[in-house]
Amino acid sequence: MTQGEPAVAKVMSKPVMAVELNTTSKDCAKAMAKRGVSCAVITQRGSAIGIVTERDLVVKVLSEGIDPKNVLVRDIMSTPLITVPPDAPLTAAAELMAQYRIRRLVVVDKEGALVGVVTTGDIARSLAEKHGYREATFNAMARYAEGGAEAGPYQ
């Protein structure tokens, strides 16, 4: 880790929303909406095995006209699960995201326990903060607005 570079643990989102393998897509989507998160980690007997994102729900269920009550998350989750340790530098997380063309990494500790999720938005917020919120590009990616506006126009 380069001097001054934060570790994944400093910027990751926690606690993680996790659902069991046999959860319906509808129940998963409802839980994601209630928590205001864009993904759910899929577990089997307590171990993380996959991830379902908003995009998975739209592309694999809704756009196909399939009733979400009839689709289990096991059938639409993305695997293999790409993970990063909490002490990894943010640049390592960004490199993994670029390599696998993904926007979220599941953060697991040495024992394999789920400790967080780091997203491109988390990285953008860290960069915006590092640059004192003076860089419009970082602010846009971080969804930062002067005056602390919490929500955009598309609610």
Class of domain 8-142: alpha beta
The string of pLDDT tens digits covering residues 120-151 is 888 888 877 777 777 777 767 776 565 554 55
Residues 6+ apart with CB under 8 A from 112: 47, 48
The string of pLDDT tens digits covering residues 62-90 is 999 999 999 999 999 999 999 999 999 99
Query: Beta strands 39-44 and 47-53: pairing type?
Result: antiparallel
Say what the pTM is.
0.82
For residue 113 the two structure tokens come to: 């326990």
Residues 81, 78: Cα–Cα separation, whole Å: 7
Helix H segments across 6-151?
8-11, 25-35, 54-60, 90-100, 120-130, 136-142
Please state the domain extents for the chain.
Answer: 8-142
